[in-house]
Amino acid sequence: MARNIAIIPARGGSKRLPRKNVLPFLGKPIISYTVEAAGKSGLFDVIVVSTEDSEIAAAVRGSGCEIHARSPELATDTARVVHVIREVLDTFARKEQRFDFLCCLYPTAPLRDEEDVQRSYDLLLSRGADYCLAVTEYEVSPFFAFDLNERSEVRRRWPELALLPPWQKPRVVADNGSLYWASVLRFMELGELEGPNAVGYLMPRHKSIDIDTQEDFDMAEFFAGKYRINKKDS
């Protein structure tokens, strides 16, 4: 039986949408939805919130997760989440606790739920993959892209692809910023949340909002109401 750890990175500082990890979303702090999704999935031996912020720690205390006190140098704008994950894993390794798979769950993706966590894990195992990341299709095909110069002139970036009928265009997706599974062994080797032998778990656009701006927040609230997901009394 695999041992799994969920790591929820939640830094206190955010520039474009201040305090976004603890903003009220349908009646409770936005981070609560991610902690609940991890718990309800039933997949994790340990659920960890990594933060340097006392308000974030208070918001999740008593919810079934452990709180990892993040190092100050990893709470800056330039710190990478992979370094936060390694710090968490190293902390548990010093306590003789090791894991087979990790799942990084971003706290600003409240519409990603426990079914997404479960299904992405099933995909990872069924394909024998080392990585699984949640992806979504582009709203507008990137193959219609133009380059725009300083004189406002435009030129198609991929003219040979833009003119193909839709069924002949390559199917491309974007990382939606909500969840990342990784073999701990491969993560410790490569230090990244993606790499060779990776699969993509396709999510619909209405569940794929990673909140970074007020517009993102408003759209997430709209979709939560429209699709009746993550309601306050759920």
Break the chain into its structural domains and give their ranges.
4-138+173-226
Q: Which architecture characterizes domain 4-138+173-226 according to CATH?
A: Alpha-Beta Complex (3.90)
Q: How confident is the model at residue 166 (pLDDT cuts 50, 70, 90)?
A: confident
More confident position, 150 or 231: 150
* CA distance to 164, 190, 210, per residue, from 52 (Å): 50, 26, 21
- pLDDT tens string 68-83: 999 999 998 889 999 9
pTM exceeding the 0.85 threshold for the entire prediction:
yes
Q: Cβ neighbours of residue 64 under 8 Å, at least 6 residues apart?
A: 35, 39, 47
Q: Are strands 146-148 and 46-51 parallel, antiparallel or unpaired?
A: unpaired
- pLDDT tens string 2-58: 999 999 999 997 878 999 999 999 999 999 999 999 999 999 999 999 999 999 999
What is the total residue count of the chain?
Answer: 234
- pLDDT tens string 90-132: 999 999 999 999 999 999 999 999 999 999 999 999 999 999 9
Q: Are strands 24-25 and 4-9 parallel, antiparallel or unpaired?
A: unpaired
